[in-house]
Amino acid sequence: MHYTGQVYRPPVEAYTPMLEITIGCSHNKCAFCTMYRQTPFRVSPLKDVENDLRELKGYYGPDIKRLYLLNGDPFVLSTEKLLEIADLVHKYFPKVETLSCYASINEIRNRSVDELKTLRAAGYNDLYFGLETAYDPALAIMNKGFTTAEEYENLKKIQDAGMTYRALLMPGVAGRGNGEINALETAKLLNTYKPNMVLIFTTSIAPGSDLAKIRDEGGFVEATEREILEEIKLLLKALDMDDDCFFFGSHPFDLVPVSGYFRDKEQIIQQLDDGMKKLHPKILDGVYKRGAI
């Protein structure tokens, strides 16, 4: 198998077979992220993709129904290229129903709804969008390359195309004192264009990241753990998701790990409350040191 450089996938895809179609990340400028800084972006040769499909078939058999495409943003490829890859996948795995991957608002901007419908028909669905927030000042500091207005505009395209998506969010991303507005603005976006899964991972400032430099120069003040946990609770309260939408809040960066379906939202919030009660005030009112992503 060709797994080049750093390989990342959402925790909920832990048991999904993975196929590399790109290497690194085409944007690679998010202020908080160091995941692909040492891996130049490039596209996997089709011969490598096909060889890997043969190997996957030998390992899993021909009947898998879901495939996760690597790496940082495979959806940056042209519609034609993505369709070519889908044809190859279905050649070896005719029962595959879903081709999932990381995606960015930037990659939807120049696609029509008709193009997205064609990609949906080919199996592309359950795209993981690193939205992080719907609060413009935080998007700007994190150098995401898009605005809240563009999040609304392009998630509407996803909805109109009949695609489902999964929202990746970063509690604490707006900095100290901004947790409430960050939670409410983000909930407003998700309530308008509902994901089928909400995944959080608490903001971490990795050594050597652009965000570390911004913090050190006074341009970003980290939220306390109490602020972040209150922000998560407020986000949950404000979200109006379908009962079968899944909330994943068990990333290693999440100080009080909680996950469950939105039908059990009140229970999840109670678990957060209970978890906070077990933490010493010095921890809650400080900043917990996390690792790099």
Please give the Cα distance from 254 to 201 (Å, whole number). 6
Decide if 103 contacts 127 (C-beta within 8 A): yes
3-state secondary structure of 61: coil
Under DSSP, the state recorded for 197 is E
pLDDT confidence of residue 243: 97
For each successive 10 residues of the chain (293 residues), what is the average pLDDT? 88 96 94 90 96 97 97 94 98 98 95 98 98 98 97 98 98 98 98 98 94 97 97 98 97 94 98 97 92 71
pLDDT at 38 (0 to 100): 85
All domains of the chain, ordered by start, with CATH? Answer: 11-284 (3.20.20.70)
Per-residue confidence (pLDDT) for residue 289, from 0 to 100: 84
- The pLDDT, as a whole number, for residue 233 is 98
Question: What pLDDT, on the 0 to 100 scale, is given for residue 193?
Answer: 98
